[in-house]
Chain A
């Protein structure tokens, strides 16, 4: 029978056969390629029982306006069944700029919560029990500073650091590659990351000092293969930096975590999660020969693909998100964020985010997909895809090795250019209707029904600016300046900066002041032109 198209391809551009059979898995050995769940190479999952033991953590990325606004949102989400927190910071915070800096004008609270000082951080977590709720913080350039604030809040509450559990994104390489929130050049940035890793391994052992992120790479337009390859290679680069700094792999590798995208191509995405676990286990073992099995286990958070959501017919986004969330669950993710249907309009409203959370709860409680571990293991198609993704990612590994590693590759604009080209291909396909996007290039409705959106007014900015001005007046500026000076000293002589950062935030030095002081030591970064 005639088929609909001459060629069927996966979202990453692999040709897809009509049907897959045992012939596609000829030299494939389940013992070697799969293992049992919880066993090397962890293709089927990092735990033997997976969701039968414990469901994934439902962790919606949230933050807007002031610390109080966001605190209220956190409590709302917890009240509706969410069991982990994930902080979204606003643009000035992400860029290490204080709310009252000229550059911050017009940007306060629009993209997340505005945090400039320890006081803001305290208000953000007011009434949130650190011992019960794990918190993930999406921050990178200023990650160490924000982490210092978190530790200082815990200290004030009398919670011992050993008890703290959570995640700092702290992944600077993908900032240069995809998200563009850098503060310093790569070398000192990697050193700061090594400092946080070392500090955690000694003082905050349950904390995940880094979340190596493919999400942003994918959202910037990459394919699944590129997401997989660049992310894992970034991860290896951090491991190398920490080992060079004198840590043994088993001291810190078990605490590394990952963050992947869950995009539209259901099976390819499932295969991506599986390939990621296998490839990480293999490469870590090959390169570092760790003793602790946890050092090679890849645990990850996942988020559905914001870039697939549309401004047109926004209700459709709920359906897209459901399918993508299913990919993450069938792929074996440890925690998950589901996007809201108002993704292309603004930060989510309460109602929209609740529906997104309910989507996860329905998958978890009603679909019964959680009953059996890695339910698609052994599928001819999924195993073939898993193999292909792993091979294609390894190809990139070799190219990156040849370039002298990820930092050199970034300087040459290599991953950036690969991603930009993929994003152009994706756009071209939809513009030519080779890829149908419901409501956008097909099934278009002439009149759109608007949905309510969250608005953030200029009051947030006024309030934050006033608070900062009070803080600057009331603090002991002598003490503050001394702490910042000591920090600069530690930064320039290569001492671990974490203790000094904690002192500085406790002395009420602001985020902007600290980042500026570190820029004086570390310098700034200019990205290569990739057009």
Chain B
């Protein structure tokens, strides 16, 4: 029986090998199952080795920023953009778990549901489960799984934070920080947080009145500041171009390379 059928447990190396093989062929249920295994069980990482991933030309793009700045909407637009280029896209969207109950309400996906019927897009919501740093413990590994499954672009949305999102820097080769207009004095504080990890800064909600001021303020500090209106898609092609210009495609590191592994 195949590991992704109704088989309840993955307990031996043989099952793992089948699962790894299925992931390599791009089987979605297998990808999903393996990511769960990585989330739920430390032993799951055994399977990563079996994936035998040869370095592919995968781009891993981190998207971070304050809560509600428009990260998910930007990610949704970037997905469309890469799909038009015919690339397979994986999305890992991280939200925070309640420190008291361990539960979580994962809502980033709502913004991306238009891609739910596209077989070239895989979207996975992950809860932090007590892990600090802006991602879940298993996010880096999940990116590795997606790479092995043939996804050519992987977008990772961090939890909505302004600081301590150091993880994304380790997992993604390029980090886009999304902010909304009206930051005011926060620009100063951002220098030691968001702006430190970001390679590209996006002032989203460019349709709001205060956008020009925010753009101006930020341009004093960083070279790469763009304006987008994610709700309409304005500025997204430019963002995609900036991402491409910033870095040539890069392979994801081998298992264990990411800081939190």
A and B touch in the complex (CB under 8 A): yes
Chain A residues in the interface with B (C-beta under 8 A): 412, 523, 526, 528-529, 531
Contact between chains at B231 and A526 (CB < 8 Å) = yes
Nearest chain A CB to B127 CB, angstrom units: 13
Q: Is B1 an interface residue (CB 8 A)?
A: no
Other A-B pairs beyond A412-B68, A523-B232, A526-B73, 10, CB < 8 Å: A526-B111, A526-B231, A528-B68, A529-B72, A529-B107, A529-B108, A529-B110, A529-B111, A531-B105, A531-B107
Residues of B within 8 A of A528 (CB): 68
Nearest chain B CB to A519 CB, angstrom units: 14
Nearest chain B CB to A448 CB, angstrom units: 33
In B65-105, the 8 Å CB interface with A consists of 68, 72-73, 105
- Separation of A528 and B70 alpha carbons in the complex (Å): 10
Residues of A within 8 A of B231 (CB): 526
Residues of B within 8 A of A531 (CB): 105, 107
Chain B residues in the interface with A (C-beta under 8 A): 68, 72-73, 105, 107-108, 110-111, 231-232
Q: Closest B residue to A527 by CB, please name it.
A: B110
Q: 13 pairs across A/B with beta carbons < 8 Å?
A: A412-B68, A523-B232, A526-B73, A526-B111, A526-B231, A528-B68, A529-B72, A529-B107, A529-B108, A529-B110, A529-B111, A531-B105, A531-B107
- Separation of A531 and B96 alpha carbons in the complex (Å): 13
- Separation of A529 and B68 alpha carbons in the complex (Å): 9
Residues of A within 8 A of B110 (CB): 529
Q: Closest B residue to A523 by CB, please name it.
A: B232
- Separation of A528 and B110 alpha carbons in the complex (Å): 9
- Name the 8 nearest CB pairs between A and B, nearest first: A529-B107, A531-B105, A531-B107, A529-B110, A526-B111, A529-B111, A526-B231, A523-B232
- Separation of A500 and B61 alpha carbons in the complex (Å): 48
Nearest chain A CB to B69 CB, angstrom units: 12
Residues of A within 8 A of B72 (CB): 529
Nearest chain A CB to B79 CB, angstrom units: 14
Nearest chain B CB to A409 CB, angstrom units: 13
Nearest chain A CB to B207 CB, angstrom units: 10
- Separation of A412 and B232 alpha carbons in the complex (Å): 17
Nearest chain B CB to A520 CB, angstrom units: 14
Residues of A within 8 A of B107 (CB): 529, 531
Residues of A within 8 A of B68 (CB): 412, 528
Nearest chain B CB to A413 CB, angstrom units: 8
Residues of B within 8 A of A412 (CB): 68
Nearest chain A CB to B37 CB, angstrom units: 27
- Separation of A531 and B107 alpha carbons in the complex (Å): 8
Q: Closest B residue to A185 by CB, please name it.
A: B231
Q: Closest B residue to A525 by CB, please name it.
A: B231
- Separation of A160 and B205 alpha carbons in the complex (Å): 47
- Separation of A19 and B107 alpha carbons in the complex (Å): 47
Residues of B within 8 A of A529 (CB): 72, 107-108, 110-111
- Separation of A112 and B69 alpha carbons in the complex (Å): 39
Q: Closest B residue to A529 by CB, please name it.
A: B107
Nearest chain B CB to A250 CB, angstrom units: 31
- Separation of A526 and B73 alpha carbons in the complex (Å): 10
Q: Closest B residue to A404 by CB, please name it.
A: B209
Residues of B within 8 A of A526 (CB): 73, 111, 231
Q: Closest B residue to A413 by CB, please name it.
A: B68
Q: Closest A residue to B231 by CB, please name it.
A: A526
Nearest chain A CB to B107 CB, angstrom units: 4
- Separation of A529 and B67 alpha carbons in the complex (Å): 11
- Separation of A72 and B260 alpha carbons in the complex (Å): 69
Q: Closest B residue to A530 by CB, please name it.
A: B107
- Separation of A412 and B111 alpha carbons in the complex (Å): 15
Residues of A within 8 A of B232 (CB): 523
Nearest chain B CB to A452 CB, angstrom units: 39
- Separation of A526 and B107 alpha carbons in the complex (Å): 14
Nearest chain B CB to A424 CB, angstrom units: 13
Residues of A within 8 A of B73 (CB): 526
Q: Closest A residue to B208 by CB, please name it.
A: A408
- Separation of A531 and B68 alpha carbons in the complex (Å): 12
- Separation of A528 and B73 alpha carbons in the complex (Å): 10
Nearest chain A CB to B93 CB, angstrom units: 12
- Separation of A528 and B69 alpha carbons in the complex (Å): 11
- Separation of A412 and B182 alpha carbons in the complex (Å): 13
- Separation of A526 and B111 alpha carbons in the complex (Å): 8
- Separation of A410 and B110 alpha carbons in the complex (Å): 17
Q: Closest A residue to B114 by CB, please name it.
A: A526
- Separation of A302 and B73 alpha carbons in the complex (Å): 39
- Separation of A412 and B68 alpha carbons in the complex (Å): 8
- Separation of A412 and B231 alpha carbons in the complex (Å): 14
Q: Closest B residue to A528 by CB, please name it.
A: B68
Q: Closest A residue to B106 by CB, please name it.
A: A531
- Separation of A531 and B108 alpha carbons in the complex (Å): 11
Residues of B within 8 A of A523 (CB): 232
Residues of A within 8 A of B108 (CB): 529
- Separation of A528 and B108 alpha carbons in the complex (Å): 11
- Separation of A161 and B68 alpha carbons in the complex (Å): 47
Nearest chain A CB to B90 CB, angstrom units: 21
- Separation of A378 and B235 alpha carbons in the complex (Å): 60
Nearest chain A CB to B123 CB, angstrom units: 15
Nearest chain B CB to A404 CB, angstrom units: 8
Nearest chain B CB to A327 CB, angstrom units: 36
- Separation of A274 and B231 alpha carbons in the complex (Å): 41
Nearest chain B CB to A324 CB, angstrom units: 33
Nearest chain A CB to B146 CB, angstrom units: 24
Q: Closest A residue to B107 by CB, please name it.
A: A529
Nearest chain B CB to A174 CB, angstrom units: 21
Q: Closest B residue to A408 by CB, please name it.
A: B208
- Separation of A526 and B232 alpha carbons in the complex (Å): 11
Q: Closest A residue to B108 by CB, please name it.
A: A529
Nearest chain A CB to B204 CB, angstrom units: 13
